[in-house]
Amino acid sequence: YVYKENKFSYEYVVKLVSTLQRNIDTKVLVVDDSIVSRKILKNLLKQQLFDVVDVDSGEKALTLLQDLSGIRLLITDYNMPGMDGFELILRVREKFSREELAIIGLSNEGNESLTARFIKNGANDFLQKPVVHEEFLCRVNNTLDSLDMIKKLWELANLDYLTGIFNRRYFLSKLKELWGTESYQGVIISVAMLDIDFFKRVNDTHGHDIGDIVLKEFAHRLSNKFKQDCIVARLGGEEFVVAMPGVECDTATSLMEEFRESLLTLPFIIDDMQLDISSSIGLAVTEVGKSASMIEDLLKSADLALYRAKSEGRNKVCV
Ligand code: GH3
Ligand code: MG
Ligand code: MG
Ligand code: MG
């Protein structure tokens, strides 16, 4: 409609549609002791298609945030009986970072230092009441745009672009994190490296696009099989890795045997073609310890075991 009326550019309309689409899936919590204020804010947010919940106190907001996950934006008044908006954000920030839950503070006090105090203590933005409607909505959308951008950056840095599972960078940083965690010291950890057999043939015979579909399906199956504490990642090409903290060698071996078998018993069917896909798997086991060089040794051992699985005929698990 706005486009047809020739009031806005095509780009503006595209941006508007994507903002509204984002907003439909965005839960916003409004905290204000004034019923009038709550009503105004709620109506404004609903115009922008947000999914809005409101409460009249900081205490209720905290309970709601604990019970109702998925809230992405908290809009809070400053002056409220009981817990004020300032205390509320301090409490909220103990649990939620600026990147997972945005906060916008509101106050009708003509106190300029309040703005800085709010932002320094975890608010993403701050507005004076009564809010200018247009400005309020711009700031709400801007704040959420930043959150979206941070999420996108995080995904670009940590997820594999083709398969959507974790990438090498994430895998290594997660292992390092584990090595640095007190409660993991001495815990057994198994690491499996998987390499698809004769994958080049898949590309050569069926084309690169079909090869890509195989990689996606393989990644999907692997991350479905190894959930919970396991870290599943694509190291690159047709090479994958699974870290299994708390899993002993015997268990890891049989889990990997199961996975290897399942590739044969549940064949890959793409475009009505059945492709025979198998994988060679190398396993290494150690105990999480103090020295970071152990990570390198662990991965090297898994790689050597994989190499053995290849040279002993492929479609095999070696430890
Ligand atoms: P082996 O059993 O010894 O592992 O043989 P292989 O053919 O699987 O191994 P090789 O290392 O010779 O070939 C791996 C192939 O994977 C070569 C490369 O073109 C292909 N490849 C790497 N990344 C991608 C990708 O993202 N998509 C597709 N379709 N192919 C990829
Ligand atoms: Mg108030
Ligand atoms: Mg390879
Ligand atoms: Mg291969």
Question: What is the best residue among 203, 234, 277, 318 to mutate for testing ligand 1's pocket, by most ligand atoms within 8 Å of CB?
Answer: 203
Note the pLDDT tens digit of each residue in 158-199. Answer: 999 999 999 999 999 999 999 999 999 999 999 999 999 999
Beginning with the edge strand found earlier in the chain, give each strand of the sheet holding 166-167 in spatial order: 166-167, 231-236, 239-245, 188-196, 279-287, 317-318
- 106 Cα to the center of ligand 2, angstroms: 9
The mean pLDDT value for 128-154 works out to: 94
pLDDT above 70 for 261? yes
Q: Is 203 in the pocket of ligand 1 (CB under 6 A)?
A: yes
pTM for this predicted structure: 0.84
Which numbered ligand comes closest to the C-alpha of 161? 1
Identify the residue whose C-alpha is closest to ligand 1 atom 10: 200
- Kindly report the backbone phi and psi dihedral angles of residue 22, in degrees, each rounded to the nearest multiple of 5, phi listed first: -60, -45
- Residue tagged active-site, from 11, 99, 109, 238: 238
Which numbered ligand comes closest to the C-alpha of 314? 1
67 three-state secondary structure: helix
The mean pLDDT value for 96-102 works out to: 93
Whether ipTM > 0.90 holds is yes
Q: Which residues contact 137 (CB under 8 A, 6 or more apart)?
A: 44, 45, 47, 48
Task: Report residue 53's pLDDT band, with 50, 70 and 90 as the boundaries.
Answer: very high
DSSP 8-class letter at 57: S
Note the pLDDT tens digit of each residue in 295-310. Answer: 999 999 999 999 999 9
Identify the residue whose C-alpha is closest to ligand 1 atom 31: 237
Identify the residue whose C-alpha is closest to ligand 1 atom 6: 198
Q: Is 170 in the pocket of ligand 1 (CB under 6 A)?
A: no
Q: Is 60 in the pocket of ligand 1 (CB under 6 A)?
A: no
Which numbered ligand comes closest to the C-alpha of 201? 1
pLDDT above 70 for 110? no
User: Average pLDDT, whole number, for the chain?
Assistant: 94
What end-to-end distance do the CA atoms of the chain give, in Å?
64
Identify the residue whose C-alpha is closest to ligand 1 atom 17: 200
User: Does 87 participate in catalysis according to the annotation?
Assistant: no
**Rounded distance, CA 164 to CA 42, Å?**
36
Question: What is the best residue among 238, 310, 315 to mutate for testing ligand 1's pocket, by most ligand atoms within 8 Å of CB?
Answer: 238
- Other beta carbons within 10 angstroms of residue 257's beta carbon come to 13
Q: Which atom of ligand 1 is nearest to the CA of 209?
A: 29
Task: Report residue 69's pLDDT band, with 50, 70 and 90 as the boundaries.
Answer: confident
